[in-house]
Amino acid sequence: MLFNSIEFVFFFIIVTSLFFILPHKYRWFLLLVSSCYFYMAFVPIYILILGFTIVIDYFAGIYLEKTQGPNRKLLLIMSLIANIGVLAVFKYYNFFNDNLTSLLYGAGYKNPIPYLSILLPIGLSFHTFQAMSYTIEVYRNHQKAEKNFGIYSLYVMFYPQLVAGPIERPQNLLHQFYEKHEFDYTRITEGLKLMLWGFFKKLVIADRLAIYVNSAYNYPEQQTGLTLIMATIFFAIQIYCDFSGYSDIAIGTARVMGFKLMTNFNRPYFSRNISEFWKRWHISLSTWFKDYLYISLGGNKVSIPRWYFNLFFVFLVSGFWHGANWTFIIWGAINGFYLVFALLTDKLSTRIVDITGLDRHKKLLSFFNIIITFLLACFAWIFFRANSVKDAILIIKKMATFKGPLHYENPSMLIFSFFGISVLFFYELKHEYYRNSFSLMNNPNWLVRNMTYAVMIILILLIGVFDGGQFIYFQF
Amino acid sequence: MENKLIGKLKSNKYLYFFTKLFLLFLIIFVLDFSIGKTLRHFYFTQESGWQYRTTYAMENTVADMIVFGSSRANHHYHPEVFEKRLPFEYYNAGRDGSYNLYHFAVLKSILKRHKPKMVILEFGKEEFKKSQVGYDRLSALLPYYKTHPEIREILDHKSEAEPLKLAVSQIYPFNSSIFTIAIGNAAINKTRRGDIKGYVPLDKTWNEPMKTIQSVPAYDVDTVSVWAYESFLKECKLASVPVYVVTSPYFERSALMDTSMQLGKNIAGKYDVPFFDFSQDEKLISHPNFFADHLHLNDKGARIFSDFVIDRILVEKMDYVTQKK
């Protein structure tokens, strides 16, 4: 079920109402059943895959807690193999097979291994990673094994964050299913406000920009350099509004019922370097990789070359996590390269700042760094969005010419796009630098506050895109 | 007194929450109603633009011959050529980016109040390809949902929730249309993008080399789109309106016939409807200067192509008369 569908509106109202009507002891069951329904609204049969990982990790957790010695590690490895195995079959099998076919073809052979004709289960990477974080945490003795199978299932399946995160940790989420959540006016309105802002970002900004981006990126050979530059900047904003919009709706939905999910985005386009960008972008995934892969590889407590390798490798894997395509792997590699390059040139860049005297103009330096970081992120996004590596290279070549004219189907499309971007910019600017200044959504005046909500809903009806389809990150 | 009331409300958290929610919905309702009604008024007072042309086709045209289809219909059938050679008054109801369901809905609205003497339906490649776009594009007909009950059955294919959305919001049918409505009401649009009886000429000339199609792509056929096409032909037959299905040229060479074209031709045959395929007509496709892009003819190409279509129609009519004799 899509958040941006009329079905979800009814689903949310019914589930939330029942949640507060039912006695506390039955609420987890309601959430579990509704989460199953939510997931099965996509492709019902795929609930079996989810069930498979749930059963494996539930028992893995229990046995991990009971077992001591080397068998403990073996148990963890078996559980991880089962989880990664599911990912490997459903997400990466055809990718590897495709590459094998190309290799064998080059050598004059035919690939005898057949392709799998299967759809990728929605949000597979998200719930697999969430399930894996549970077994790892139990193994590390940071979390007790969950004995209640229903509660554990709910931890993996909790519908607000089931298909696109935030990827939760058991320490943050599991205990919340045992706590009683009262009907709290302030908390409920906070959640609803977050949901409204999420819908605004998705429907008014992301899906509007997607129209331009799709027409440019799906036919790059027909576009001018200027159009592709515009489409790339639009895509950077589109993917942010799409994914952070989803996260806001997810976090808001959970908040209404009293659950606190982790923050997933923290205004990443105000970052002053790529390292900061990754601390603000898709935080639940970045921290997952940091906690479970980067630190396991030794983090920065190793030799300098190994440290650089660790960083680069983690981003390469992160790229691959996003999709079974070379475009995602290159996107990850570019980000890894940015980070390693920044470390290598750290002293040099400090010196340049000193020589140019920019250190005396902190605001100017900050502004300059924000722009550079945004442009670097945009360059990497080309590979993320392009349909193939060949397309990405063509797009970069065309962009380098900077040739016009700028293509647009009709002026209202651009007007709506820039209107949405302006609202986003001022909202983010206010929250980044002027947090305590005048606020519309949290205004003490009831009428101002409610007029703001009403105007946002009217704007969604007036200029939101209702045929925009699903969220980009569902495919991962 | 007021403070007492708020205090009393606050003491019951549920009542407090739902009272505030109700007041918010009241504000939203008032805004939605007033803005929606204003948009509806100005939507139907437009004097130019594609929304105006749809309204004119559905509610006003009494033309003898009407052209239906997507952008290829809108830009390929020249009114001056048709009106010069045939004793018919012409109107072009083609609309950029529209699909079979749209054409069928517009036809139903027209037939409800007027019987044309001839109908041309432009039919393109991949016309029956399964895609969400055709359904999404039905949004263009949402402003007519309330006033044209004959198209509701077709519009409901957009989504099951459509009647509910339309009942709940007055703004929804005019989603994303605010600037188009404003421009349609301003005189500026008449000079900016003039149409001749619905036909919009393209002035560009295509400079790219011709594509050669080596293989026909396989795709899933959308049965609803097939139904709409078949219903279009059936509806014309029932109303005794002569209908011609025409495929205008593409600036590409292909020896293979697209799945939709084959299917479209078969269905037309089933209803005894002439199907003219100009997609590979050498007299047209060997002239790049007739094209605005690889899918569309420019104004010059449209004039020549229109002559070709009329020739075929006249031959067809002659054959018909001869056969009858």
CATH number of the domain residue B273 falls in: 3.40.50.1110
Structure tokens at B90: 């012409």
Give the pLDDT confidence score for residue A406 in this predicted structure.
82
pLDDT at B97 > cutoff 90: no
Q: Per-residue pLDDT averaged across A14-22, rounded?
A: 95
Q: If you search the block for the tokens 């990466």, which residue do you land on? A: A92
* Residue B17 located in a structural domain: no
* Residues A385-427: tens digit of each pLDDT: 999 999 999 999 999 987 778 888 778 888 999 999 999 999 9
Give the pLDDT confidence score for residue A111 in this predicted structure.
79
Total of domains in chain B: 1
pLDDT at A433 > cutoff 60: yes
* Residue B255 located in a structural domain: yes
Is A322 assigned a catalytic role? yes
Give the pLDDT confidence score for residue A102 in this predicted structure.
85
Decide if A463 and B178 are in contact by the 8 Å CB cutoff. yes
Of A415, A451, A467, nearest to B27 by CB-CB distance is A451
To the nearest whole Å, the CA of B175 is away from the closest chain A CA by: 5
Query: What type of residue is B10?
Result: K
Give the pLDDT confidence score for residue B190 in this predicted structure.
61
Chain B from 140 to 169: CB within 8 A of any A CB: 161, 164-165, 169
pLDDT above 90 as % of chain A: 69
Closest C-alpha to B275, from B221, B313, B224: B313
Decide if B132 and A467 are in contact by the 8 Å CB cutoff. yes
Q: How far apart (Å, rounded) are the C-alpha atoms in residues B231 and B271?
A: 11
pLDDT at B316 > cutoff 70: yes
Give the pLDDT confidence score for residue B131 in this predicted structure.
86
Of B17, B165, B179, nearest to A185 by CB-CB distance is B17
* Residues A230-257: tens digit of each pLDDT: 999 999 999 999 999 999 999 999 999 9
Least confident of A83-97, A342-356, A462-476: A462-476
pLDDT band at A313 (very low <50, low <70, confident <90, very high): very high
| CA dist list (Å): B296 to B250, B252, B288 | 7, 11, 11
Mean pLDDT of chain A: 91
ipTM > 0.85 (yes/no): no
Q: How far apart (Å, rounded) are the C-alpha atoms in residues A329 and A387?
A: 13
> DSSP H helical segments within A88-184, as ranges?
93-106, 124-139, 149-157, 170-173
* B60 Cα distance to chain centroid: 16
Give the pLDDT confidence score for residue A326 in this predicted structure.
93
Give the pLDDT confidence score for residue A401 in this predicted structure.
86
* Residue B23 located in a structural domain: no
Top mean-pLDDT range of A25-29, A321-325, B83-87: A25-29
Decide if B27 and A450 are in contact by the 8 Å CB cutoff. yes
Give the pLDDT confidence score for residue A100 in this predicted structure.
86
Structure tokens at A454: 């009403």
Give the pLDDT confidence score for residue A471 in this predicted structure.
57
> Is the minimum CB–CB distance between A455 and chain B shorter than 8 Å?
yes
* A56 Cα distance to chain centroid: 25
Give the pLDDT confidence score for residue B319 in this predicted structure.
65
> Is the minimum CB–CB distance between B139 and chain A shorter than 8 Å?
yes
A302-326 core/surface letters (b: 16 or more CB in 10 A; e: else): eeeeebbbbbbbbbbebbbbbbbbb
> Is the minimum CB–CB distance between A109 and chain B shorter than 8 Å?
no
Q: What share of residues in chain A are helix, strand, coil (percent, to 5)?
A: 75, 0, 25
Domain containing B89: what range? 51-127+193-324
* Residue B142 located in a structural domain: no
To the nearest whole Å, the CA of B172 is away from the closest chain A CA by: 6
* Residue B71 located in a structural domain: yes
Of A188, A457, A465, nearest to B28 by CB-CB distance is A457
From the list A24, A127, A322, A431, the catalytic residue is A322
Decide if A412 and B139 are in contact by the 8 Å CB cutoff. no
* Residue B186 located in a structural domain: no
To the nearest whole Å, the CA of A103 is away from the closest chain B CA by: 25
> Is the minimum CB–CB distance between B23 and chain A shorter than 8 Å?
yes
* Residues A159-193: tens digit of each pLDDT: 999 988 799 999 999 999 999 999 999 999 999 99
* Residues B246-278: tens digit of each pLDDT: 999 999 888 778 889 999 999 999 999 999 999
Of B24, B165, B178, nearest to A454 by CB-CB distance is B24
